[in-house]
Structures are given as structure tokens and as C-alpha cells.
Amino acid sequence: MAEIFYRVNPAEFLADLISIDYTSSDTIYFSQKKIDGLVEAFSQKTSTILYATPLIRSEVFRSTTRLGRKSVVKRKVGWWRQFWLLLKRAWMQASRDGPTNKVRARMSVASAIIFGSVFWQMGRSQTSIQDRMGLLQVAAINTAMAALTKTVGIFPKERAIVDRECAKRSYALGPYLLSKLLAEIPVGAAFPLIFGTVLYPMARLHPTLSSFGKFCGIVTVESFAASAMGLTVGAMAPTTEAALALGPSLMTVFIVFGGSYVNADNTPVIFRWIPRVSLIRWAFEGLCINEFSGLQFDHQHSFDIQTGEQALERLSFGGRSISDTLVAQGRILMFWYWTTYLLLERNKPKYQQLEPPIFDQPQSRQQLELEAPPVDSDEPYQELGTSPLDEVDKVKPDEQR
């Protein structure tokens, strides 16, 4: 027996033992029958010491099915209870993934050092304007791709578990997605903060504390939006390999329309909706507004860019604020989460319409009564246990004297 349950979590085994499988009418029948047997065995076990009132066989059946019905009702957990339990599980899953978190932290530091070395201590010359734009574009792409790749590589495998647990009515999709979003905020925000902390002083970007805080906030929100996009790709793709192929391809389209390669005013009309949904574009625009606002550049000719506001006008980023870009990224995040919910709800396993529970079917009740343990026909009552008083009644009168 020990070899059979080797490497099996005892808690999961016990939870599966007392759960009803709603896959089909046969599975619900046999799982309910199994639970009724456990209830009856437990009742017989607890009645071996105290005297139990004799019950007719049909009464035994009604009592056990009543307990079975109560066990089914107790399985229905409220929305907030589901959310709280799923939040604790998601937090444990995110915080205990030590090897993955260490690799992501090292990659954030390594990429920040590489980018900081290439764009080391940028000045205020005319050539530094292009360098700053290139660095901000690379920072936006690196942050989005890191979050997307991590989510796309994990969620397709997790989706199989979610589909199975939702099919068994363990919880709903709404509490699961909300708990996953909130649980990943502390861990997911750590890596963009590490990246910004290392890169910002090396490249000598806008030297104010508020600008540094806004820089970290923009890349953090972008990371969550890319992670939400990865959830949608994972819910859409049939396998992990397909998701890893689809995710970067879709991100490449957003990079092309990210604001650095193609100006928004020069974008063909048929493609002008893409920059509006590109998280790379909104992150790049927010970083540029944060960096160029208030900067003064060295100039020798009248046609040179003298202020950061002029650089923003050439990128068609004038007239907006950082809060506008953050709101746009928040909308993209909610769009991807809502799309993930719809895809999971649509692609969830479909089963045949279940029959009524077995304790509401007369035929099943009669069948269970026939399968009850046999008793002597001369005894209309079945004793569930003995009492010390029964032993006293068996003593002869002479022995009592």
C-alpha cells in the first residue's frame, strides 16, 4: 500500500476521497456511493461503545443519504471564501518558486548592467537625445518580454489543473483570476524595481527622485500588462510550445508600432488601432514624457532641439501626461484579463447534462437498499452496536443473587 501512494500528497488523496466527481452520471453515482459508505462506516465505528437505537433498513438509508446531502451542501463555498483560499495558494506558489525568482532577479540585474554600460552616463548633447530614446525603447521591450515569456511558459500547464478543478466545481474562474493578479503583485513588482534601480544611475537619466519613482512605476505596470497578455496567449494556445511561438510573435507587432520605429502620425489608417492597444507604445511614451520633460540640451544651431518638449513633439507625444499612459496600460491589463476569463469559460471541458443526485432517484435508492448488508429475516431491527446493559440482561437470576 505504501508503494501505491508513493509521491502522492496525503491531503490531496483525502480530498479526492471525500469529493464528488461531476464528470458524468456514473462518476457522480459511484463517488456519492463511496461517500455514503464512509459515512455509514464512521457511524458504525462511533456506535460500538454507546447503545444505538435500532433502525429499520430504510431508516438507515435515509439517515445516510441525508448525511450525504449535507456533505454535498457543505461543498458549496462562497465567492469571497474561494477568493481567500485561492489567494493563499497563489501566494504560496509565487513566493516558493525560488529557482525561477532567482533566475529572473539575476537576469534583471544582468540586462540592466548591459544596457547601463552601453548607454553609460549620457550627457545633454544632441546625440544623447537619440540615445535616450533608444534606451527607453529597449527598457520597455525588455520588461515586457521578460514578463510575457515567464507567464506563457507556465500558464498553459496550470490551465489544465484549473480546467479540471473548475469542472469539479471546486471554485469559479472569477476568484481564481483575481487572486492570481493580487498574489503576483509583490513578486512581479520586484524585478522591474531591480532593473530600474541598477539602470537609472548608470545611464544618468533624469536626475530627480520623482522621475526615478515614475520610471519604476511605468515599467512595473507594463510588466503586469504583459503578464496579463501572457495569460491570454496561454489560454488561447493548445500547448506550451504553441504559446511560446505565439506570444513573441504578437509582441513583435506591438514593438513595430511602439512609437520609435513608426511615428503615430505616419501609421497607415488601417493599422492605427494597433498603437492604441500596444503596451510597448504606452510604456515608451510614458518613459519619454518622464525623461524629456524639463530637460535642456546643448545646441549650436537654431534647428537643434533645445528642450525635451521639442523632442516629445517630434515623437508625437506632446499634450499627454504620465497618468494618461498609466490609465491606458491599466485598460490594456483589464482587457487581457477579461479576454482570458472569456477564453477559459468558453474552452472549459464540456460534459453531458447530469442526472438528478442519486438520493433523489427512487431506482437508485432501491438499488442501494438491495446492496445494504444482509440481515436475518426474523429480526426486523438491525442493531448498530451493543450496550453494557445487554450483558447484564443475559446474566441468569441465580448469578445476579
pLDDT digits (tens, 9 = 90+) for 233-242: 988 888 888 8
Is residue 360, in this structure, part of any structural domain at all? no
Number of domains forming the structure of the chain: 2
Q: Give the integer Cα–Cα distance in Å for 275 and 267.
A: 9
Q: Which three cell numbers stand for residue 394?
A: 443475559
- Report yes or no: 295 and 206 within 8 Å, Cβ to Cβ: yes
Lowest pLDDT segment from 83-87, 109-113, 157-161, 302-306 = 302-306
- Whether residues 246 and 376 fall in one domain: no
Residue 73 scores a pLDDT above 70: no
Cell reading at 42:
464512521
Range of the domain at 387: 10-76+371-400
Q: How far, in Å, CA of 225 to CA of 387, rounded?
A: 68
In a domain, 1, yes or no: no
Most confident range, picked from 160-174, 218-232, 300-314: 218-232
Q: Give the pLDDT of residue 110.
A: 92
Rounded Cα distance between 248 and 231, Å, is 13
Helix (H) or strand (E) holding 143, with range, is helix 127-167
In a domain, 206, yes or no: yes
Which helix (H) or strand (E) segment holds residue 161: the answer is helix 127-167
* One domain for residues 287 and 310: yes
The answer to the question of residue 351 being in a domain is: no
- Is the pLDDT at 78 greater than 60, yes or no? yes
Say if residues 301 and 294 touch (Cβ distance below 8 Å): no
